[in-house]
Amino acid sequence: MPVVTSLSDRVTKFSAKTAPDRVGTRYDASKTIAINRYADAVSLRAAVQEAVKNILSSKGVPAGFHGVYFAFAFQVLGKSFSHSGDTLSKVVAGLKAKFTAFGADPAILDQIAKLFTG
């Protein structure tokens, strides 16, 4: 008959799996893969940030309001990894409504969305 494990049993097992000598060896073996994946993700995010910054500069948006537009862009970026086409367009429309309610200019949001939807 199976035994239901308690929280303390689970914590003990997790602690044993994450012993520094064991985790260090595993990480060292996959470090180059992890670094390459990180570099790919960061470079894409940095490119989006620069593109959004250029749009905001051309529209004269004060720096204090940039955060809302960056948040919109990064949420759309995240959704673009798992959605495309019409589905992505509908998700973007929902995010646009959300950020418009936060006070963002819909025309600027449209320009940012075009970075992802074409």
Which is higher by pLDDT, 68 or 15? Answer: 68
For the stretch 80-99, pLDDT in tens is 999 999 999 999 999 999 99
Q: Please report the pLDDT score of residue 102 as a whole number.
A: 94
pLDDT tops 60 at residue 1: no
Name the packing angle between helices 106-117 and 66-80 (round to 10°).
Answer: 30
Here the contacts of 58-66 (C-beta below 8 Å, separation 24 or greater) are 59/105, 59/108, 59/111, 61/105, 61/108, 65/103
* Confidence band, pLDDT 50/70/90 cuts, at residue 59: very high
Domain boundaries, the chain: 8-117
Backbone φ and ψ of 11, nearest 5°: -65, -40
Residue with tokens 């570099």: 39
In order of 25, 96, 101, 102, the CA distances from 67 in angstroms are 39, 15, 14, 11
Q: Please report the pLDDT score of residue 42 as a whole number.
A: 84
pLDDT, mean of residues 55-81: 95
Structural fold of domain 8-117: Methane Monooxygenase Hydroxylase; Chain G, domain 1 (1.20.58)
Q: What is the mean pLDDT of the chain?
A: 90
**Is 39 within 8 Å of 64 (Cβ atoms)?**
no
Q: Please report the pLDDT score of residue 25 as a whole number.
A: 83
For the stretch 5-28, pLDDT in tens is 788 888 888 777 777 777 788 888
**Token duo for residue 82:** 């798992």
